[in-house]
Amino acid sequence: MKDQAMLKLGVNIDHVATVREARYRGRERGEPDPIEAALICESAGAHGITAHLREDRRHMQDRDIFQLREVVKTRLNLEMANAPEIVNIALKVKPDIVCLVPERRKEVTTEGGLDVASHWLALTDTRKKMNDAGIEVSLFIAPDPAQVEASAKVGSQFIELHTGSFAEHFNRKHERAHELERLVSAAKQARELGLQVNAGHGLNYQNLHVLRQVPHLVELNIGHSIISRAVVVGLATAVQEMLLLMRE
């Protein structure tokens, strides 16, 4: 799989901010510092930094995103809902790429893929604004043919395949094979439609080797697993271990 040889790692640092907010919510500073974490990830070899500015600001804060833009030297990926306030912030921050995701207030983390097929007009409008500002656009979708097709219709440069279902069913062989086939099929369809393919959600040190069977992947966005591992071995080591798995 030649086009997968240089599979890239984007580290999602939201959970660093989650730990900070647990103690320092509403304060101007606190620890751990997601900006420092981003720099450690980059120096450990990460190809990009991902951060999600949620409407409820439960982890990353506006100041974090602006600071990240100043310090990130690789590629800054801003995950965001298609909400006017957040769109305006993104246009000011100018990340390298935005990943549009669905957002529900009560969810612990992003639970499902974006329904691009039902909201393609609104998403196209935002996609144009971002592209006009020199920002690439990715859409976070389930590996579903209708959503892949709608993403191409919107004109996004990337899709990010939601691997949550694959991760959830990983220990059940039959279900895992089914979820893997959905991802493979979606990646092939996206490629044929001219879309670049990223993947993320629930990926960890155990399931990564199986996901490598999905063709045409450009980048994996991984957060929780790396930050969890970092508690035990340190952040730089956790990033390097993941990169090693991705190269094997």
Q: Which residues are catalytic?
A: 52, 79, 201
Q: What does residue 32 show for φ and ψ, rounded to 5 degrees?
A: -70, 155
Lookup: tokens for 139: 């859409």
Task: Give burial (CB, 10 Å; 0-12/13-18/19+) of 244.
Answer: exposed
Distance spanning both ends of the chain, measured CA to CA: 13
Lookup: tokens for 3: 């086009």
Identify the residue whose tokens are 């493979």: 184
Lookup: tokens for 212: 């490598």
